[in-house]
Structure 1
Amino acid sequence: MLMSINPKLPMRNKNQTRDYYIDSLGFKELGPYDYPQYLILEKDNIQIHFFLFETLNPKENYGQVYIRTNNINQLYQLLLNNNVPIHPNGKLEPKPWGQREFALLDPDNNLLTFGQATNS
């Protein structure tokens, strides 16, 4: 019955969020409509939704998304090649729970963790 999940994260500035996800991470904007306080971005088979929260203090933002990938090495290298900053504590490494993961922070301090099972 459940088909997918689309996380909603806060953003302080729609243009800055759009530019970061499109230019740095390779997402594209979904749909022909431009909602002033909402943004939907997609890449491959995932969507992330954003809602405007202009007074958000990034140091108090705990927005997090875990994104599974089937080629973490290629994704990690692509981001490094594009000079996308990786979280200082989030370099690509194997984790005790059977995943290889890395993480980064978007302009609003939303944590994006990318992971792939070590046996895939």
Structure 2
Amino acid sequence: MEGDDSIFLCECGKVVREEIREDTFKDYINTSRNPSTRTTGHRNCGLIFNFVDGKWPKKYSSKKELKTLAATFAEINELSSEETGKFLLEVDRFKSCGKLSDDEILVYAYQNVLKYKSAKSTGKPLL
């Protein structure tokens, strides 16, 4: 999730990349900040995201669906095969908790892979 790329998980289960115009559309909605706030919608399902008011949809997929999303997420973020394996294990571990939504699982698992990458490159042990 580096740079200006906005990547998020839609309620329909697809990973959405805001900079890919085929994935998104722009729209204006009424929010607590402004009656005409610019936002993003997902072309696949038509869902319009309200990032201002924190009304973020929660999705709880099956283990199989989540693994498919995780593989797509790993590909988008250009993880190596070793990092992808670590990422999928982390996703599985977080899914086993049974309390987290898909987007929380993917973010936490990705953060752990980034920590792993950082520790590997600096030679520091991971605790």
Identify whether the pair has TM-score above 0.5, normalized to the shorter chain.
Answer: no
Greater percentage in strand? 1
TM-score (norm 1): 0.36
Greater percentage in helix? 2
Of the two structures, which has the highest relative contact order with CA contacts closer than 8 Å and spacing of 6 or more? 1
TM-score (norm 2): 0.35
- Whose Rg is larger? 2
